[in-house]
């Protein structure tokens, strides 16, 4: 049995990991389609097999949350995104993202949400740029926000101190 990529002596919990570990450099294209290995053994601090960095910068967290929020803003009031598909509020780690999230959820329409967001003064957020961008290509970010929040709560991921 192959071992977890963290180099400890416990087996990998996921059979997908076996497949990912057996990839040759020639199969790099295939690797992009595999789900990352997340070791569930408490002795292991390894988060990703295919992307080994385990610490995120705060600015990257905010950037990804803003992309998720942009997608939510574009689709929530249009009925394309049901409330059940939204990440929970507590999954947004930054104060700025939680403020925007609350505004989007509480506004009666997209236009009302955009007007309220335009009036906000948020640290590290260019509100005009946020409102100008389209969220069409950010459909994966709401799930990313949720997955990262779960990984942080489980201790498999850290956020770098500012």
b/e 49-82 (16+ beta carbons within 10 angstroms → b): beeeeeebeeeebbebbbbbbbbbbbbbbeeebe
What are 11's two structure tokens? Answer: 């087996």
User: Are 64 and 145 spatial neighbours (Cβ–Cβ below 8 Å)?
Assistant: yes
Digit-by-digit pLDDT tens for the chain (162 residues) are 344 555 444 444 443 344 444 444 444 444 444 444 444 444 443 333 334 357 888 999 999 999 999 999 999 999 999 989 999 999 999 999 999 999 999 999 999 999 999 999 999 999 999 999 999 899 999 999 999 999 998 888 888 876
Distance from C-alpha of 148 to C-alpha of 27, rounded to nearest angstrom: 27
The structural domains of the chain, with segments of one domain joined by +, span 1-53, 55-159
Give the side-chain half-sphere CA count within 13 A for 158: 9
User: Are 64 and 151 spatial neighbours (Cβ–Cβ below 8 Å)?
Assistant: no
Q: pTM, whole model, 2 decimals?
A: 0.67
């Amino acid at each position: 049995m192959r071992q977890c990529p963290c180099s400890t002596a416990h087996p990998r919990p996921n059979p997908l990991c076996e497949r990912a570990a057996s990839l040759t450099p020639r199969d790099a294209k295939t690797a992009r389609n595999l789900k990352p290995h997340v070791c569930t053994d408490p002795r292991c601090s390894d988060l990703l097999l295919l992307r080994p960095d385990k610490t995120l910068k705060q600015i990257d967290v905010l950037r990804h949350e803003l992309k998720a929020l942009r997608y939510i803003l574009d689709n929530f009031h249009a009925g394309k995104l049901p409330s059940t598909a939204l990440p929970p509020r507590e999954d947004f780690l930054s104060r700025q993202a939680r403020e925007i999230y609350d505004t989007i959820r509480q506004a009666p329409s997209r236009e009302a949400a955009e007007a309220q967001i335009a009036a906000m003064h948020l640290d590290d957020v260019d509100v005009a740029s946020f409102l100008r961008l389209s969220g069409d290509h950010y459909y994966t970010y709401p799930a990313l926000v949720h997955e990262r929040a779960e990984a942080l709560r489980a201790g498999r991921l850290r956020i770098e101190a500012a």
